[in-house]
Amino acid sequence: MDSYVVMRVGSERYGAHVSQVRSVERVGDITPVPRTLPFIKGVMHLRGAIVPVIDLAERVGLRHVSVDDEERRIVVAELDGMAVGMLVDAVEDVVPIAPESVEPPPSVVGGLEAVYLRGVARLGDDLLVLLNLERVFSAVESEQLKQVEKLVYG
C-alpha cells in the first residue's frame, strides 16, 4: 500500500504521495518577492529555512472556492531537490491506496491536464485524482523558484 495526503484545491480533492510531502503547515506570514511568476506568492520562514510558496490552484488553472482561512494549509513538498510550499484550501487526511487500484489518468480530470496527474484511484464512493508533483512545474518555473531562493539568501 502507498499512502497519499488528501488535499482540497478549489472544489476538487487531490492526492500527493507521502514520499513527496515533507510537512503540512498552517498558513502564516508569506513575504512577497517582486518580479516573480504570478502563482509564486512569496517566501515563508520554516524552522530556519526560507521556503518559496506557490498557489497550487493558480498554478494548475483552478480557482479557490470560498474557504475558511483556518482550513487553508501549506503542503511543503520536496521537488527537484528543493522544498516548495503549496497553498491549498484544506488537507483532509492521509489514506492508503493499493498501487494496483491506481488507473492511468484520462487526458483531463477536474480541470487538470494529464501531465500533472499520476493517476486516478477510487476512495470510497469518490475518485481521488493523484498529482504528479514533479510535473507541476516546468523547467523554467523550477529555475524561477530557485532564483527566488537565491534572492532571499543573497
131 Cβ contact list (under 8 Å, min separation 6): 14, 15, 16, 116, 117, 118
Q: What is the predicted pLDDT for the residue at 127?
A: 86
Q: How, if at all, do strands 90-97 and 2-9 pair?
A: antiparallel
CATH number of domain containing 146: 2.40.50.180
pTM for this prediction: 0.84
pLDDT computed for residue 94 by the predictor: 95
Instruction: Please report how many Cα atoms fall inside a 13 Å half-sphere around the Cα of residue 61, on the Cβ side.
Output: 10
By DSSP bridging, strand 82-88 and strand 49-55 are parallel
Residue 6, C-alpha cell as written in the block: 488528501
User: What's the domain count of the chain?
Assistant: 1
User: So what's the pLDDT on residue 88?
Assistant: 94
> What is the residue range of 23's domain?
2-151
For residue 113, the model assigns a pLDDT of 61
| CA separation for the pair 28, 15 (Å, rounded) | 23
Q: What pLDDT is attached to residue 29?
A: 92
Between CA 53 and CA 32 the distance in angstroms is 9
pLDDT of residue 55: 92
- Show the cell assigned to 99: 498501487
Q: Return the pLDDT at 24.
A: 96
DSSP 3-state of 145: helix
Q: What is the pLDDT of residue 139?
A: 66
pLDDT at 61: 76
* pLDDT mean for each 10 residues of the chain (154 residues): 92 90 94 86 90 87 76 90 90 93 74 72 86 76 73 66
At residue 76, the pLDDT reads 95
